[in-house]
Amino acid sequence: MKARLFAFLALFMLAVSLFVAPAFAVQPDEILPDAKLEQRARKISADLRCLVCQNQSIDDSDASLAKDLRILVREHLKAGESDSAIREFLVARYGNFILLKPPFAWDTWLLWLTPFALLTLGALAIWKSSRAKSAEAAEAAPAPLSKEESEELNALLAASPGVNTAVVPADSDR
């Protein structure tokens, strides 16, 4: 019964999520009458970072600065500028930070290479730790008894009453 209820709820949530449209912050007064220009504006806005929210595109942000940037993009489109010219204008004004996917350049190399450096350092730390643990385990292993020690142990066990007198073999390597 619980499995059926869970399956029903999962299917219901899936069905509901298919009908939910992505929420855009674009206001009706910002939308351009030309559908092709509006589509270009949405594409450009989806690639630009909101400078207030910093983890949202200006298309998704409700911040007033994001609205100003959306309007600015639409004004440049109405003036007949190309998508790349609008991006270049905004990068010149705000720097590569305004792009959600900044290019690999001299001023963004740290942003791009830090994850790889951290992964490499983490892998080295794990490797070094595992080598230290294996060396520590090898040192902690008890050394086998020599022939003399084995004979002495056997003699002690034989002399002790009530103790199992199993013979301890001598190490053949020594």
Decide if 154 contacts 169 (C-beta within 8 A). no
Residue 47 lies in a domain: yes
What is the predicted pLDDT for the residue at 174? 45
pLDDT tens column, 79-120: 999 999 999 999 999 888 888 888 887 777 887 889 999 999
Residue 111 lies in a domain: no
Residue 85 lies in a domain: yes
Residue 36 lies in a domain: yes
| Residue 150, token pair as written in the block | 């084995």
* Number of domains the chain contains: 1
Backbone φ and ψ for 20, nearest 5 degrees, come out as: -85, 125
Residue 45 lies in a domain: yes
Please count the other Cβ atoms lying within 10 Å of the Cβ belonging to residue 104: 9
The whole-angstrom separation of Cα 156 and Cα 40 is: 92
* Secondary structure class of 48 (helix, strand, coil): strand
What's 44's domain CATH number?
A: 1.10.8.640
Residue 23 lies in a domain: no
Domain limits at 57?
A: 32-101
| Residue 38, token pair as written in the block | 């509006």
The whole-angstrom separation of Cα 174 and Cα 171 is: 6
Residue 78 corresponds to which amino acid?
Answer: K
Residue 160 lies in a domain: no
Residue 84 lies in a domain: yes
pLDDT tens column, 39-86: 888 899 989 988 888 788 888 888 888 889 989 999 999 999 999 999
